[in-house]
Each structure stands twice: as C-alpha cells, then as structure tokens.
Structure 1
Amino acid sequence: MTNPDDPFAEADDFEIAPVRLTVDLGALADNWREMARRSGSARTAAVVKADAYGLGIEDCGTALYEAGARDFFVAVVQEGVTLRTYAPDARIYVLSGIWPGQEQLFFENGLVPVLVSEEQLAFWMSVTAEHGDHPCALQVDTGFNRLGIPLEDAIAFTDDVSRPASFSPVLVLSHLHSGDTPSSELNQKQLESFRRVADAFEGIETSLAASAGIFLGSDYHFDLTRPGIALYGGEAVNGGKNPMRPVAKAEARIIQIRDAKKGETVSYGGTYQLSRDSRLAIVAAGYADGYLRSLSGSGVPLRQNIGHGAFGFVAGRKVPVVGRLTMDLTIFDVTDVPAAEIRSGDYVELFGPNMPLDDVARAAGTIGYELLTSLGLRYERRYIYPE
C-alpha cells in the first residue's frame, strides 16, 4: 500500500494496476484433487496447454505438481520445455507431436511426443532407429476427424510385421467430441470404438476422458484421465451446476464516473440510448485485454440469441455493460449503485467468484476456454498460494 506520509512512495503494482488478475492456486489444486477423486482408479493428469489456459504455466504447473500430478499435457514443445523446470520428474506429453528439427528438445527435456498422423509415426520410428528408444504416445481418431491415426489403421498397425520390435508407445489416447453433452449417443459410439483400440494395444495404458469425459463415468476413465478446463474452474458439461471452485478473478479499474442524460447515446456508433438519467463507470479494460467485443451492451450484429451484453460486479451489485466495448475501455451502467459506495479507482470484477466465468462467456456467445486463453499481457497478476 502507498505510504500516506510520502506521496512518492512506491505503490503496490497490483493495488494500482489498470487491469489485474488474481489466481487462486489453492482452488486450482483442490480442483485437480476433485477430478482425481472422480477419476476413481484411473491416474489423473493435468492439461496446462496455452500457458495453463491463460493463467500461467509456471505457477499453475508448480501448484498442480505439488498437489500430486505426475502426468501433464501441453500443446507444443516449447510449453513442455518451460514446464520441465517446474515438474522435474513428471511425464510431459506434447499433444501436437513432433516435427523434424525438434528431436533434441524432446530428448534433452524428457518430453513424450503424441504421434498424431502416419507421417509423424514414420518419422518417429526413423528417429528412434537412429537415436535409440524414447517414450512416445499414439493418438487414434475415433470419430473427431481432427488429429489422430484412423481407427482401422491404428488397429492394423498392431499386427504390422514391419513395425520395429522396439516401438511400443507408453500411452494410446483418443478424444471425445461430444463429452460436454452427456445425452449425446455419439459418446457411446466413440467409447465402443476406443475399446477396440484398447483391446488391440493390450498392455499399453489408454486415455479417453478429458474434463467432460470424467463426468461421464468410470466406463470412460481407462488408465489415465486428462482434465483441463475443470481445473481452472470452468464448466466441463453443458447444463447443471458447475462443481468446480473458481480459480481466476479478472478486474478492471474505474477511470471515471460520469453523469449522462436520458436520451443520450453511449460509445461508438451511438448504438445504445439511455432510457434514464444515468451514471456511467468507464473502466480500463477492453478487447485488447481479452474482454471480448462481443460482450458489448449493444451494436453486435453477430450476437442474435442474447439481447444484452455482459455484467460486471462492483459494490455488491451486478452492473451491465452499455454501448460498444472498445480496445482499452468498457462502460458500465452504475446508476443503481449508491453514489457513496463507488468511486473512481475502485475495481469492477469482469469475471470471478461473483461473475462466473461461463456466464460471462455465454454473454459473448462463446465458452470459458476462450475468455481465459484470451487474457492479454496487461494484467498485473497475483497468485494466492495454498497454505
């Protein structure tokens, strides 16, 4: 805090930041433990791709490792190199696989490539033939049509006489495309396909369930589960109550509170007209901070299903975004907040314990994943460590 006797004393950067992010690492660890409990006898990994869903791979990786995670998934090799420092003896899988020229990074950092195509599979066999055996994983496509060896090709590969005797993946995995919709019959169809894969690769560990798949029950758990969004407090399953603890709180500072008259318009394009005399709080966050333009209170032609934009939270009350959200600024209507309870310099919660991440995401016509991974570089961050 600033010393009132010294106006030039150094202030706490977090206390004066235009935008700030609080990350509760205790909640993150608790969420991992909860997903491990729900995974039953299966071992539970932690997915920390995209800079731990925007919250910081260094701090989040450390907290998850200290909570007990020993299997991690990242998207690209550079993320794995970073994580290795914070998870020294963990097994780290790289979901995008390996490309020529990356071999040394995988070997030096003990990273496990997830081979996702026939080309990567052939390349990896040539690498191990030259440099010796090294763990790998194999992804099989069971209906997603994204990454993975086609189902029948993967099963046939187990009996391929040209397959090197030394080649044996440590994990075979697939991914559910409709796990967030428990009622979808396609989940059962993928499960049946993956069981064929598991049978063909007998003796090798298998993994099908990410966050949503864990909630589908033990049939989907196999040997290893891979929770991601649920660890960070997001909704993994559509509908129903989210059982996970909120992890991130994003806030923006009020730069100015101004009075505006009934009939006046707000922000670019004049798309929002005030229906009453109002007080407006202009805060220091916009789409450059990942607070998406589609959260605007009006003037968003692509958002047809929701007539209003997002809400913030300040002084114990929800307050709506009004007018178009801009690159660096957002305007909230704070007319219903007593004037004595709000002032310039206060912070509006953009999402967090009082404004659930996925509620805000729905107002933007998107999902919590996008809000978290869109967080910009301007947030001053504070990490709350478990006691």
Structure 2
Amino acid sequence: MAIIDAIAAAHGARLTIDLSAIAENWRRLGAQAPHITCAAVVKADAYGCGLAKVAPVLWGAGCRTFFVAHASEGVTARSVLPEAVIYVLNGLVPGSGPALMAHALRPVLGSREELDEWAALRAETGRPLPAALHVDTGMNRLGLTISEALALAGDPIIAAAGIDLLMSHLVSAELPDEAINRRQCEGFAQIIRAYPGIPGSLANSSGCYLGDGIANDLLRPGYAIFGGNPTPGRPNPMRPVIRLEAPIAQVREVKAGDGAGYNARWIASGPRRLATLSVGYADGYPRSASGRGHALVGGVPCPIVGLISMDLVILDVTDAPAARRGGPATLIGDALDVDSVGRAAGTIGYEILTNLGSRYVRHYVGSID
C-alpha cells in the first residue's frame, strides 16, 4: 500500500489479519497427524487477532474443539461458537462454576478440590457437563502430579466429575532433542494407560512436530495457528497472519551530535535522516525494542533510534529513499515476522502477538465465508 488509508492514519497504525492464513495454518498443523483430531487454542483474544472474528473461521475450516484460558474468554467464545466444545485451561477458579455451567464450558481440572467441586456442581444442577483432567508431567504450574493422577485412576470421583479428556503441557516441545520431552511423553503414556477409554491431549504447536512417539488423541496448537514458528531454527512451515504498518508522521534532517527521543539515548554520528511513526508502546509495540528493532520502509531495514515512547517511534531512514510523510513503515510483515520482532525486543513472538493494541485499525482479509 503506497499510502496508509485515511482511517488507519487517523488512528495511528493498521493491523491486517489474514483469516485464510489462520485457517490454512490450522489445517497444516492437523496434517502432521491426520489420524488425530486437531483442536485450536484461542486464548488471549485469539492471540491478539480477535476471537470473535477468528473462531468462526476455524469452525468453518472444520475445528470443533477450542481452548481458552479464562471463563470470561469462554463466554465470548460461546457467543460465536454455539455448538463447539470449549475447554477452560485455567481450571475451576473458585466461584466460576455457575458461569461455566451456564455457558456449557468445560473446565480443565487440576486438583482433587476442583474435582470435588465440579462433581458436586454437576450433581446439584443435574447438568452432566464434562471436564478435562490436567496432569502435570514436568511444568510445575497447574495439575495433579503423575502419582496423584495414578492414585485417582478408578476412583468414583473421575466419573462423578465427567472427565472426558486427559491433558498435560509440554515444557520444551520447540527443542525436540531435550530429554524432558521423552520423560513427559513417557509419563503421560502412563496416565493414558491408567485411564482406558479417555482420550489424551499433549501436543501443543511445536508438539505437533515431535512425531509419533507422543501419546496423544487431540492436537492442541495455538501460537502456530497465528503464524508463529513451531520449529525454531528451521524454516517456518506456517503462513504469516499479521501485518502491522504505521504512517510516517514526519521526516527531518539532523546533524552530527543531535539526539533523538527521551534522554537523548541516541546521538547522531553524522548527518542523518529521521522518520517518526505514529505508534508506540501504548499500542503494544514493545519499548524494549528501543535501539534494537527496526522497521521496513520501501523494503529497506531502518533501525529504531532513541527510546520508543507511548505514541511514537523514531527510525533512521537515511538509507531509505522511499521514506516520506504519510508513507508506510512496516513493523511486522515481510521479512519481519513475529518471531524476529520478538527476538529484537528481547522477548518472544507470543508476547508480540498478545500485546497487539486496541488502538490499531484492524483490517481482516481472506475470509473463508
């Protein structure tokens, strides 16, 4: 786009989200194990891409099981997915049971207390809504330990709580040679054997690429659906999903010794040409990318100089002849995927995606309706 459109310019930046790429990425992940059902994790507003827009597209592509983090996210998901199976990953937070029941949401239970509470709620309401059982195989965040889960095998509480899925979470799936992957797979296989007839879910985005050595009946990708690389160190098998462009608000010439931005953290070493973008950390673009990240102007990498401020980013566009007032700079897109932007900011692509700000004008393309 030669010039950012007037509406996007008025709001600071334009975030383009490719819905067809989201659907295709989900299919590609499922194709890694075509004999296994593929679900979708759509927590954090579908990784910043907009749950209300994304979830129906995934349903249209064939996805029938979804995961969110919180009950409130589940309520939103249910409003656009009336027939889907929706699990709430963070479990049965005290007091959340009635809302889960009201919206047919299935908690992922990770303690005996949660099992007891959910079983009691099922009995009290007469609603046989299922739940998943979370077994911790190495993450040490949520879930029963392996020994606790094995001790509960055959306990009437499992049927009373309506457990219809066994779950665990991989610690280092993006590093396939890590020994903990094997230990987790072996531990989860124990659980699967102890609970015959109940399917299990272990494979996250990177776990989809760990091969057949993983005991698994339901793939559970999230990040990779939205364009993140599930195979770090190798070419990304996913299609890019998001593109973030901001208009250049002003271009100026500076001389040697001039500073830029708060506290003059950057000093010009000679005559330079600077461009200021109408976007900042209030939009979710990370302040930690100050002096480390870059944007593309006319395809030319232009370093970020000075401190990123709340609403503005300064680029050195000396080597970018296309830089002009009103012209676009690409902050995510083309050679700048979410993983590389995350690395430049000293973080990960997950954080870049989930921090995408509400001030962006969101433009959806590639609908599969």
Q: In which range does the TM-score fall when normalised by the shorter chain?
A: over 0.9
Distance 1:165 1:368, change over 3 A: closer
Equivalent residue for 1:35, pick from 5, 29, 33: 29
Please report how far the alpha carbon of residue 263 of structure 1 lies from its aligned counterpart in structure 2 after TM superposition. Answer: 2.2
Match of 2:296 in 1: 313
Q: Secondary structure at the match of 1:372?
A: helix
Q: Say whether residues 1:23 and 2:17 are aligned partners.
A: yes
Q: Say whether residues 1:137 and 2:132 are aligned partners.
A: yes
Equivalent residue for 1:205, pick from 153, 177, 199: 199
Q: Secondary structure at the match of 2:166?
A: strand
Distance 1:269 1:343 in 2: 26
| C-alpha contact (below 8 Å) 2:21/2:239 kept by paired residues | yes
Match of 1:345 in 2: 326
| C-alpha contact (below 8 Å) 2:115/2:161 kept by paired residues | no
Equivalent residue for 1:83, pick from 77, 80, 86: 77
Q: Say whether residues 1:163 and 2:144 are aligned partners.
A: no
Distance 2:331 2:88 in 1: 32
Please report how far the alpha carbon of residue 355 of structure 1 lies from its aligned counterpart in structure 2 after TM superposition. Answer: 1.2
Q: Secondary structure at the match of 2:305?
A: coil
Match of 1:323 in 2: 306
Please report how far the alpha carbon of residue 103 of structure 1 lies from its aligned counterpart in structure 2 after TM superposition. Answer: 2.7
Please report how far the alpha carbon of residue 352 of structure 1 lies from its aligned counterpart in structure 2 after TM superposition. Answer: 1.7
Q: Which runs of 5+ in 1 are unaligned?
A: 2-10, 298-308
Match of 1:47 in 2: 41
Distance 2:307 2:159 in 1: 62
Cα deviation code 1:317-374 (max 9, x no counterpart):
1111111111111100111112xx2311112111123311111110111100001111
Q: Which moved more, 1:243-252 or 1:261-270?
A: 261-270
Aligned counterparts, 1:114-153, within 5 A = 114-132=108-126, 133-153=128-148
Distance 1:203 1:164, change over 3 A: closer
| C-alpha contact (below 8 Å) 2:115/2:157 kept by paired residues | no
Q: Normalising by the residue count of structure 1, what TM-score does the alignment of the two structures yield?
A: 0.90
Cα deviation code 1:243-300 (max 9, x no counterpart):
1111011121211001101222221222212122111000011111111111001xxx
Match of 1:302 in 2: none
Q: Secondary structure at the match of 2:356?
A: coil
Q: Say whether residues 1:265 and 2:246 are aligned partners.
A: no
Distance 1:165 1:253, change over 3 A: closer
Match of 1:283 in 2: 277
Distance 2:140 2:275 in 1: 46
> 4+ runs of 1 displaced by more than 4 Å?
none
Please report how far the alpha carbon of residue 381 of structure 1 lies from its aligned counterpart in structure 2 after TM superposition. Answer: 0.5
Cα deviation code 1:158-183 (max 9, x no counterpart):
133x5375444110000001111111
- What amino acid sits opposite 2:150 in the alignment? I
Q: Report the number of matched residues.
A: 364
Distance 2:306 2:33 in 1: 45
What RMSD over aligned residues (CA atoms) do the two structures have, in Å?
1.7
Q: Say whether residues 1:69 and 2:63 are aligned partners.
A: yes
Distance 2:159 2:8 in 1: 57
Distance 1:187 1:111 in 2: 30
Distance 1:333 1:183 in 2: 41
